[in-house]
Amino acid sequence: MDDTVLRETYRGMGSDVHVEVVGGRPGHLSLARDHLAFLEARWSRFRRQSDISRLNHAQGEPVVVDSCTLRLLDAMVHGFTITDGAFDPTLLAPLVSLGYAQSWHDPSAITELPFGAQPRGPIRGVTVDANQSTARLPPGTVIDAGGIGKGLAADLVAELLMESGVDGALVSVGGDVRVLGEGPLGGVWLVSVDDAFQPEQEDIKVPLASGALGSSSAMRRQWFTPEGVPAHHLLDPALGHPTAAGMDSPLHATVLAATAVWAEVYSMMVAVRGAAHTFPHLDELGIGARVVHGNGDVRTNRSWDDFHPQNRSY
């Protein structure tokens, strides 16, 4: 094994992106950057010609999309199902109405909703035709790739790097991290978890031999509505309003899972419903979870406490 480690950090998908490659060449970093840009161009709700925007505006008509978008839609439907609706990607309309229409990093990029967009749509009504590479949303349903897009992007880029011949890869997109192959520290990757309450500071480091880590926090996106009311991007699907885990009782949820897309989905479930309602279920699945509250209190479930990267991966 070539233990040379190449690293690159930049902005992508409106977030910080960090890529590490073991046993690769500089061209592998370019490959990762280009593929992430490819995915962003197809999934961004701020781009009129993205697959997501065209699906949202098709009003129930089939749309030809990339195969990666079919995989994203499948993950959205499955994520809604396994979290019993705590994860719901159809809340774009209330998010926009609360004042989150513009990109945080490019004010000229604005989400445009179609006439008749519903506050919440039946994501299980999405239909796909893999042979024709088409997809269709139920009329009035509008979706947002959001966090699940970042998680799946980390998975897809890491998988692509391994297929291209590297010995190991770490890909982090907005805090959703996927590791594959040989890590630089005796085969292990040391993954940093940022402190959501003190930006630019590290909270903990998690050693991973394989798998993924995902985080959700209301502290990452906060603003004031047009009426001057504080808001954040984590919405309660049942109400279409920011969850209680926001300014009044903020929390930061981190989950260990097999892939970044499911780590993101389950971290969203924890952030929306809280530790008491989600930790027992995650323990049944053997998925580790950690919650940090704004007052400094830290809670972990049994699976997190039992995690041993040398002989177990989630």
The two tokens of residue 174 are 């907005």
The two tokens of residue 116 are 């008749």
pLDDT given at position 20: 97
pLDDT given at position 310: 38
CATH of domain 210-314: 3.10.520.10
Domain spans, the chain: 45-144, 210-314
CB 150 within 8 A of CB 176: yes
pLDDT tens across 169-182, in order?
A: 999 999 899 999 99
pLDDT given at position 11: 95
pLDDT given at position 309: 42
Residue with tokens 């995915």: 39
62-68: which pairs have CB atoms within 8 A and are 24 or more residues apart? 62/129, 62/132, 62/134, 62/135, 62/136, 63/134, 63/135, 63/136, 64/132, 64/133, 64/134, 65/133, 65/134, 65/135, 66/42, 66/133, 67/130, 67/133, 68/38, 68/39, 68/42, 68/152, 68/156
pLDDT tens across 37-70, in order?
A: 999 999 999 999 999 999 999 989 999 999 999 9
| CA separation for the pair 26, 128 (Å, rounded) | 37
The two tokens of residue 39 are 């995915």
Is the CATH number of domain 45-144 1.10.3980.10? Answer: yes
The two tokens of residue 150 are 């970042």
Angle at 81 between CA 215 and CA 298, to 5 degrees: 30
